[in-house]
Amino acid sequence: MRSVLFVCSVVLLSVSTAWAGDKLAVQWDCAVPAPNHMIEASDQPGHVYSISQVKCTAASGEIAGVKQKEGVGTEFHELKGTADRFHGVFVETLANGDKITYTYEGTATVEGGKLKSATNKWSATSGTGGFKSIKASGSCSAAPKPDGTTKFDCSGDYSIPK
């Protein structure tokens, strides 16, 4: 159950927006969340709160011609049985060293303590360097891998005002 929690969200996160601009697609490979702290709510069986952090590597994707490289997501989960609701912050580092920060929220299904599926919606909140004024939003879907890691497919739109 611990490894499922963060995996659902992350990440993840690719850059995109509802504003006129460019399209983006990125695929993230995310490790098992560590650390992952869980606390039983004690009001009903299977009601758990947790906070976790996960590191991700971009398997593919670029934004404004710059390769997406890696990111770290920190998120909060509320699990009730097989339903997981989460929200968090994802800080991406691009190949040129610039960073983009995103917030996200989503839902996941967990069975037997393992992630079955997850989706999230995200938006960029800030950036550095050439991405300082980025506007972006989009969504991700997540699928578990046999080794306990997670693959995220993210897409959306972005614009970088001058």
- 122's CB contacts (< 8 A; 6+ apart) are 12, 13, 14, 90, 102, 103, 104, 137, 138, 139, 140, 154, 156
Look at residue 49 and give its three-state secondary structure.
strand
What percentage of the chain exceeds 70 in pLDDT?
88
What is the rounded average pLDDT of the residues 52-75? Answer: 96
pLDDT at 150 over 70: yes
What is the rounded average pLDDT of the residues 149-159? Answer: 96
**Residue-range domain boundaries for the chain:** 2-159
Per-residue model confidence (pLDDT) at position 114: 86
Dihedrals phi, psi of 4, to nearest 5 degrees: -75, -35
Closest to 149 measured CA to CA, from 37, 6, 51:
6
Kindly report, residue by residue over 85-102, the tens digit of the pLDDT. 999 999 999 999 999 999
What percentage of the chain exceeds 90 in pLDDT?
80
Per-residue model confidence (pLDDT) at position 102: 98
Q: Quote the CA–CA distance of 78 and 50 in Å, as a whole number.
A: 7
The pTM is what? 0.86
pLDDT at 8 over 60: no
- Between vectors from CA 55 to CA 103 and to CA 130, what angle results, nearest 5°? 55
Per-residue model confidence (pLDDT) at position 112: 84
Which residue has 């917030």 as its token pair? 103
Closest to 158 measured CA to CA, from 106, 120, 121, 123:
123
Hey, what are 3's tokens?
A: 């490894």
pLDDT at 18 over 50: no
Look at residue 3 and give its three-state secondary structure.
helix
User: What sign does the CA torsion over 126, 106, 88, 57 have?
Assistant: negative
Query: Regarding predicted confidence, which is higher, 18 or 46?
Result: 46
What is the rounded average pLDDT for all residues in the chain? Answer: 88
CATH code: domain 2-159 is 2.40.350.10
Per-residue model confidence (pLDDT) at position 142: 96
